[in-house]
């Protein structure tokens, strides 16, 4: 974060975090409060270390971080992570179609486990499949590595698919109240009929008419492999966004010793700050377009053998498979390395 970006945040939240001095004690300035909060987010240093650095009490640091993160979310969320409108979804779809070659896509969905110290008397509530304790940050990411919608605070023991189903995003998508644009045909393929807007996700999420996931790797044919390659080429946007988030806010590199309630505020603040920085550093995503290109073999290794019991929902996926293998929807790089050849 540059000095100018620090000032931009400070101006927006100063009135929320400013404290009045008394006859007995001079208050910690709003500017120093923001600096303390950003120091914790950017380094992951313990409250004890930060308290020594700034010569304030450990409990004071804890209170400052919570209050400042709440203020950051309250003031910046309407600007940098407002609820997407129909026009916003159309712009995101255009970006996914042009940059990532996946039309009618309104986002990449994924979950990130934020590792925490086991909360007292929590049992296995926060214990995840990786053998750590965590809360889950569920995020829908747009074509420019920004978070369109987030849901922070899910129990680490829950599956990503279960959290998505119970989230506000999942419920709106299921009830058709998300404000998505009207169905439209895939580019240059009117014969396939109108297609719903869909998001791309990994095998942790169920296959639905609005959620496209990979085909299980067992028994893949030519169309299946091309579809998987194209889907993961688009879906990696969510993984890259989490990588950028963690590289900017290094608190994600360590086990965070905060209560889940306080951590929710911290996670939301880092996400909206991430969006602010992405919007002001447009080259962050354009330079990354050709970096970390997924190879066919790496994609196959990352896919599981878990099947899917969807029936009607698979019809939408089958249309994508047909389209990606047709002259209208194919791109040159999808057959590199012999990936398009059947085994």
Sorted by where each begins, the domain ranges of the chain are 3-80, 86-338
The whole-number average pLDDT for the span 284-296 is 45
Supply 170's token pair.
Answer: 């999942």
* Cα 76 → chain centroid: 17
What is 3-80's CATH number, 3.50.70, 1.10.10, 3.30.70, 3.40.50?
1.10.10
* Residue written as token pair 């965590």: 134
The angle formed by the CA atoms of residues 167, 172 and 176, to the nearest 5 degrees, is 155
Q: In this model, does residue 5 exceed pLDDT 80?
A: yes
Closest by CA position to 200, among listed 130, 261, 141: 141
Rg (CA), the chain: 22
Alpha-carbon distance 215 to 335, whole Å?
A: 18
The tokens describing 276, both together, are: 């602010």
Name every residue whose Cβ is closer than 8 Å to that of residue 227 and which is 6 or more positions away in sequence: 214, 215, 317, 320, 321, 324, 325
What is the pLDDT confidence band of residue 184, given thresholds at 50, 70 and 90?
A: very high
Local structure of residue 338 (DSSP, 8 states): G
Q: How confident is the model at residue 217 (pLDDT cuts 50, 70, 90)?
A: confident
The DSSP call for residue 127 is B
Q: Which 8-state DSSP code applies to residue 250?
A: G
| DSSP state for residue 182 in the 8-state scheme | P
Q: What are phi and psi of 15, to 5 degrees?
A: -65, -25
| pLDDT surpasses 60 at 189 | yes
> Lowest-pLDDT range, 36-50, 221-235, 280-294, 303-317?
280-294
**pLDDT given at position 256:** 93
**How is residue 275 written in tokens?**
């969006």
The CA distance from 49 to 65, in Å, is: 14
Are the C-beta atoms of 53 and 68 separated by less than 8 Å?
no
User: 336 pLDDT exceeds 80?
Assistant: no
Helix spans in 249-312 (H): 260-280, 283-286, 296-302
Beta strands in the chain (DSSP E): 105-115, 134-141, 147-155, 184-186, 189-195, 198-200, 211-212
pTM for the predicted model, two decimal places: 0.87
Residues 200-205: what's their mean pLDDT? 93
- CA distance linking residue 69 with residue 75, whole number of Å: 10
Q: What is the token pair recorded at 169?
A: 């995003």
How far apart CA 330 and CA 340 sit, in angstroms, is 11
Q: What is the pLDDT of residues 140-153, one digit of tens each?
A: 999 999 999 999 99
CA atoms 319, 320, 323, 325: torsion sign? negative
Instruction: Give the pLDDT mean for 282-309.
Output: 46
| Helices and strands, number each (H, E), in the chain | 12, 7
DSSP assignment of 116-183: BPPPTT-TTTTB-TTSSBEEEEEEEE-TTS-EEEEEEEEETTS-HHHHHHHSHHHHHHHHT-S-PPPP
pLDDT of residue 285: 42
The answer to whether 308 touches 213, Cβ cutoff 8 Å, is yes
253 has a pLDDT exceeding 90: yes
Q: What is the rounded CA–CA span in Å between residue 209 and residue 93?
A: 16
Tell me the C-alpha distance between 272 and 150, whole Å. 10
């Amino acid at each position: 974060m540059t000095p100018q970006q620090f000032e931009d945040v400070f101006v927006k939240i100063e009135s929320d975090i400013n404290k009045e001095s008394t006859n007995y004690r001079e208050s910690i300035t709003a500017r120093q409060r923001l600096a303390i909060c950003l120091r914790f987010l950017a380094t992951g240093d313990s409250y004890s270390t930060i308290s020594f650095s700034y010569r304030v009490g450990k409990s004071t640091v804890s209170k400052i971080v919570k209050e400042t993160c709440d203020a950051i979310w309250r003031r910046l969320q309407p600007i940098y992570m407002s609820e997407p409108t129909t026009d916003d979804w159309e712009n995101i779809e255009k970006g996914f179609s042009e940059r990532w070659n996946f039309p009618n896509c309104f986002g990449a969905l994924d979950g990130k486990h934020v590792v925490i110290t086991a909360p007292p008397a929590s049992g296995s509530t926060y214990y995840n499949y990786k053998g750590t304790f965590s809360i889950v940050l569920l995020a829908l990411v747009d074509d420019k590595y920004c978070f369109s919608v987030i849901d922070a605070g899910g129990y680490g023991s829950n599956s990503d698919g279960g959290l998505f189903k119970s989230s506000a995003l999942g419920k709106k998508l299921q009830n058709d109240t998300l404000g998505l644009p009207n169905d439209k045909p895939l580019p240059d393929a009117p014969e396939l009929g109108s297609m719903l807007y869909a998001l791309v996700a990994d095998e942790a999420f169920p296959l639905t008419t609005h959620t496209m996931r990979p085909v299980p790797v067992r028994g893949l044919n030519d169309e299946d492999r091309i579809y998987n390659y194209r889907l993961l080429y688009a879906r990696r946007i969510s993984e890259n966004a989490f990588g950028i988030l963690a590289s900017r806010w290094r608190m994600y590199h360590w086990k965070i010793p905060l209560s889940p309630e306080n951590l929710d505020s911290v996670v939301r603040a880092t996400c909206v700050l991430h969006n602010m920085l992405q919007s002001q550093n447009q080259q962050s995503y354009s330079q990354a377009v050709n970096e970390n290109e997924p190879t066919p073999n790496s994609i196959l290794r990352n896919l599981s053998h878990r099947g899917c019991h969807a029936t009607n929902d698979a019809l939408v996926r089958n249309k994508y498979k047909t389209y990606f293998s047709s002259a209208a929807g194919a791109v040159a790089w999808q057959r590199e390395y012999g990936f398009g050849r059947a085994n």
